[in-house]
Structure 1
């Protein structure tokens, strides 16, 4: 039996510069065939599918996120960033603004040079005001 969604909350955020959809967060709760309940978050930065996060979340994090995402006016990027900044990669906390992927500049790979294999850590970028942050990990 495939997992069955119990709840699903979706919130979209528009770019404060150009108005296009900059990101989308989907939070789901599902039950597996063995009855185990699990929570998952999907974050899309470039809504065409370019950047994103797909991760399981534990019950305490879900308990914090679910009321926010179930009430879109309460789901501000600032509040979600306080739970986990990786859930809002399209948000610059220093500007307190949301930017679409086209507004970010200097996107570059971050490599762990302490790893002998040079493992990929994610990508960083600069917002239109020059603030640097990780946009994927």
Structure 2
């Protein structure tokens, strides 16, 4: 980017990367928080937020100094997620495949077609797309 826009390209990539990192941390925090509420209840939100913030601080304090250390940390996180999700996939895989085959069957039989035509964009924008 710096070759095409000298002086601006470096800053553009830096700002875009920073915004992507911040938005990723916010969304992962939210999804993790919702998972904790589902699994353990509302009381688990504060401890989750504290641990999440502490882990962000640890990650940014310079303990990770090389790309190999970062790769090891991400591999560890992936491994933890695999251990958590593989038993769930084994347990619920048959249920998911049964639902998939049922859905595909209904789709092939034409049972998924909408009962009416889609409204025009003018009706949607004007609020006239709702049946009364």
Verify same fold: TM over 0.5: no
- TM-score, L = length of structure 2: 0.24
Structure index of larger Rg: 2
Bigger fraction of residues in helix: 2
Which structure is richer in relative contact order (CA contacts within 8 A, separation 6 or more)?
A: 1
Bigger strand share: 1
